Chain A
């Protein structure tokens, strides 16, 4: 499993949909192009919402890592 260095990590565990996605969007807005934002989420909706948003907004979903009881979404701000 590759280890992704991230510029920002957002712990959205325990948040309900659409919380984690909104936190990711906020994080990406606050980041520079090329920077990486990781969001940790326990919300089952995130598995679909976050990839869909990344595709729609034109950012790179580098990885979705299943960790102990939560998922880590690593997104690179591409534009």
Chain B
């Protein structure tokens, strides 16, 4: 597999205005046969707690006014929620979501506390190994 065919995203953020483009990136990449690995860490893990996906309305502080405008338009135009696009991306192609072991331990969480979209828990080294040969994004 060439380097262009693998994208690893280290998802540190939990703000919805970032989750939308991440989900869409995963979908677009999966559509074009790119293997996508998403590694949730810190706030990213929080964003994937059971029940949190549907109630999350956090916006990135620096871009608050843009974020609010964006979310309003999303509602008005019936855009599917980011987690639905992500679920579709998983169905369509090779998209894997893992949670950072360190964050899980720090927060005292187990896999059961997370949404079923999260497939497993792994350490930094595993993610780094899996990312080899591809591109890594920090969001």
Which of these, B28, B33, B77, B78, contacts A18 with CB under 8 Å? B28
23 contacts between A and B (CB under 8 A): A14-B77, A14-B78, A16-B77, A17-B24, A18-B24, A18-B27, A18-B28, A18-B31, A18-B85, A19-B80, A21-B28, A22-B89, A22-B92, A25-B31, A26-B92, A49-B28, A49-B31, A52-B32, A53-B31, A53-B32, A56-B32, A56-B33, A57-B33
Residues of B bordering A, CB below 8 Å:
24, 27-28, 31-33, 77-80, 85, 88-89, 92
Main secondary structure of the interface of A (DSSP, over half): helix
Interface size on A, residues (CB 8 A): 14
Q: Which residues of chain A are near B85, meaning CB under 8 Å? A: 18
Interface residues of A in 46-77 (CB under 8 A from B): 49, 52-53, 56-57
Whether B79 contacts A16 by the Cβ 8 Å rule is yes
What is the CA–CA distance of A9 and B27 in the complex, to the nearest angstrom?
22
* Closest A residue to B25 using CB positions: A18
Min C-beta distance of B12 to chain A, whole Å: 24
Bound-complex Cα distance A25 to B87 (A): 15
User: A22 touching B79 by the CB < 8 A rule?
Assistant: no
Give the distance in Å from the alpha carbon of A24 to the alpha carbon of B80 in the complex: 17
Nearest A residue to B26 via CB reads: A18
CB distance from A31 to the nearest CB of B (A): 15
In the complex, are the beta carbons of A22 and B24 less than 8 A apart?
A: no
Among B27, B33, B78, point to the contact of A22 (Cβ < 8 A): B27
